Amino acid sequence: MTLDEFLTAVAALETTAQARVGAAGSPAELEAARTELLGRKSGRLTELMRALPGLSAEARRDAGAAVNRLKAALESALEERRAALAAAAPAAPALDRSMPARHQWRGAKHPVTLVVEEIIEIFRELSFTVATGPEAEHDWYNFGALNFPPEHPAMDLHDTLYLSKNALLRTHTSPVQVRTLQSYPPPIRILAPGNAFRRDFFDASHAPVFMQIEGMAVDEGVSFVDLKATLTNFATRFFGATATRFRPSYFPFTEPSAEMDVRCTICGGSGCASCKGTGWMEILGSGMIHPAVLESAGVDSEKFTGWAFGMGPGRIADLRYGIPDIRLLYDSDVRFLEQFAT
């Protein structure tokens, strides 16, 4: 290619390019024209520049200057067309300040947390202090020290989550009783809130992982009358004027043992799925601490007596807030939790 032929090609491309840019009717079409003309791999100007090495040294100087002028002219034309298209674009709609704002989710304490805090405060006024213990527990603290016989079904794999031969995820917070009795001499009044773990079906009233609150009082002369009076006072403080009842029961670590029920606040006693149609909701198990438990912790059972109870704040939250299904407590649904925001 001679210099004259090269300059003729440059002039022809300039005429075509100016028309191509002027015909672009949208930003997308203008971008397509830019790629077609100035694209690094297959742009028409790029293809023309590839012919420069075939010219003589003197011709390359003039040809290169012509290509640079064309490139500057095309970039200027593209920018002018881009500005013209922006100016012709329809204006954005004005902000309507009368429109309602977007909904903002409100955080709130979980209903189980609210219940636990209230229960702790009630028992704190009765001189109870809070005690804690490990969730990964030795089987002796979870079963042996609490007078469980070796063949008790709660120790089987279908009920308990074992971590190793002698380690497990505690099935209740009762081990805190033994650890506290080993660490402090009576008189003792403690409340032990924490998570418990069991191989359980997840239904409207049960969960495999749940909060439990253990309570214990050990002193000289403590009787079942004190237990019943304390728990009745708690139920009245927490639920207001409501019917309660104690039913005989069995727990390896208490004797005698009793379960405490309150009138179901969800159905008012008429019977529903949560109370299994009975009109009553069990909120805790209780009883006098078995002498074997006191002796296993190094406490003289001839001198001291005590009572204990264990309650599930999840089930109590169902009663307090009229929640028909305990699984709602585990859904992490912000719409549900927002209802408890104050």
* Residue 69 covered by a domain: yes
* Burial state string for 158-196 with b = 16 or more CB within 10 A and e = fewer than 16: eebeeeeeeebbbbbbbbbbbbbbeeeebebbbbbbbeb
What CATH number corresponds to the domain at position 192?
3.30.930.10
Are 59 and 141 within one domain?
no
Q: Is the pTM here over 0.85, yes or no?
A: no
Asked if pLDDT for residue 50 goes beyond 90, the answer is no
Residues 157 and 256 in one domain: yes
pLDDT bin (cut points 50, 70, 90) of residue 299 is very high
Same domain membership, residue 306 and residue 187: yes
In a domain, 102, yes or no: no
If asked whether residues 279 and 165 sit together in one domain, one would say yes
Does the pLDDT value for residue 4 go beyond 60? Answer: yes
Q: Looking at 73, 88, 103, which one is the last position of a domain? A: 88
pLDDT tens for 256-273 read 999 999 888 778 778 887
Residue 56, token pair as written in the block: 């003589």
**pLDDT for the residue numbered 203:** 62
Instruction: Establish how many alpha carbons lie within 13 A of residue 13's alpha carbon, considering only the half-sphere containing its beta carbon.
Output: 25
CATH code, domain carrying 44:
1.20.58
pLDDT at 202: 64
Per residue in 234-244, pLDDT (tens digit) is 999 998 878 89
Are residues 115 and 77 part of one domain?
no
Q: Evaluate whether residue 38 is within a structural domain.
A: yes
Residue 104 lies in a domain: no
Residues 81 and 141 in one domain: no
Give yes or no: residues 214 and 328 share one domain. Answer: yes
Residue 98 covered by a domain: no
Cα–Cα distance measured from residue 146 to residue 157, given in angstroms and rounded to the nearest whole number? 19
Give the number of other CB atoms < 10 A from CB of residue 153.
Answer: 9
105 lies in a domain? no
pLDDT tens-digit map of 65-78: 888 888 888 889 88
Within this chain, do residues 37 and 128 fall inside the same structural domain, yes or no? no
Supply the range of the domain harboring residue 200.
111-340
- Asked if residue 120 and residue 19 are part of one domain, the reply reads no
Condensed to tens digits (0 to 9), the pLDDT of residues 148-196 reads 988 887 777 778 899 998 899 999 999 999 999 999 999 999 999 999 9
Q: Please count the structural domains in the chain.
A: 2
The residues facing 275 across adjacent strands are none
- 80 and 156: one domain? no
Q: pLDDT-based confidence at 56, cuts 50/70/90?
A: confident
pLDDT band at 41 (very low <50, low <70, confident <90, very high): confident
Q: pLDDT (tens digit, 9 = 90+) per residue, 84-104?
A: 888 887 776 777 788 787 777
